[in-house]
């Protein structure tokens, strides 16, 4: 694990393990990097249910249940698509939490969106869904790594904001991006 994403992954897994909850990832532009970051943490098997790399738009619809009309109207690079991906993977893999990434890593724009446009989302056990739009800079690798970090930071933020007294020591900076 490298950089802030590794710390966020460890924090996410510690909080989830403490609650007896699970997580699953739905990834497009990150191509499995979120799942790799989570599973690089020792003990991840206690809370990581799995992941779906839905790189193709039709896979987002067929496997994760993203609305076809939404995909046709807005394309795959969209906040609502990210929300539906997060909730879809949560449902498909029977997890308490779902996390999703969709966006444009480059080298070319996609769906009318410029390179660096990314949407990350989290879907929680109470049906709460939160998405964040990012405008990232750098090359393809940097955009993908920053997307991983942002998605894990969003999940960590959701977990700590909704934490009970047992999790108060987890509040604070930790390099988290605040929505």
pLDDT in tens, 56-92: 999 999 999 999 999 999 999 999 999 999 999 999 9
Q: Give the side-chain half-sphere CA count within 13 A for 41.
A: 22
Q: Whole-model pTM?
A: 0.88
pLDDT digit string (tens) for 22-64? Answer: 999 999 999 999 999 999 999 999 999 999 999 999 999 999 9
Q: Which of 83, 85, 82 is nearest to 52 (CA)?
A: 85
- Locate the domains of the chain by residue range: 3-161
pLDDT at position 6 is 76
pLDDT at position 162 is 66
pLDDT at position 3 is 52
Which residues, in sequence order, are CB contacts of 142 under 8 Å at separation 6+?
Answer: 136
According to CATH, the topology of domain 3-161 is: Maf protein (3.90.950)
Per-residue confidence at 157, pLDDT binned at 50, 70, 90? very high
């Amino acid at each position: 694990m490298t950089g802030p994403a590794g710390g966020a992954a460890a924090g996410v897994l510690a909080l989830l393990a403490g609650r007896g909850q699970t997580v699953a990832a739905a990834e497009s532009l990150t191509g499995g990097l979120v799942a790799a970051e989570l599973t690089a943490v020792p003990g991840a098997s206690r809370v990581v249910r799995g992941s779906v790399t839905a790189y193709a738009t039709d896979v987002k619809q067929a496997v994760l249940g993203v609305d076809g009309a939404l995909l046709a109207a807005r394309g795959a690079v969209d906040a609502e698509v990210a929300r539906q991906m997060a909730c879809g993977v949560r449902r498909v893999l029977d997890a308490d939490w779902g996390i999703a990434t969709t966006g444009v890593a480059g080298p070319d724009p996609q769906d009318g969106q410029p390179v660096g446009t990314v949407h990350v989302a989290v879907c929680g056990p109470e049906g709460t869904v939160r998405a964040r739009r990012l405008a990232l800079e750098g090359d393809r690798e940097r955009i993908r790594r920053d997307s991983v970090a942002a998605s894990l930071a969003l999940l960590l933020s959701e977990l700590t904001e909704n934490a009970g007294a047992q999790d108060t020591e987890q509040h604070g900076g930790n390099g988290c991006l605040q929505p």
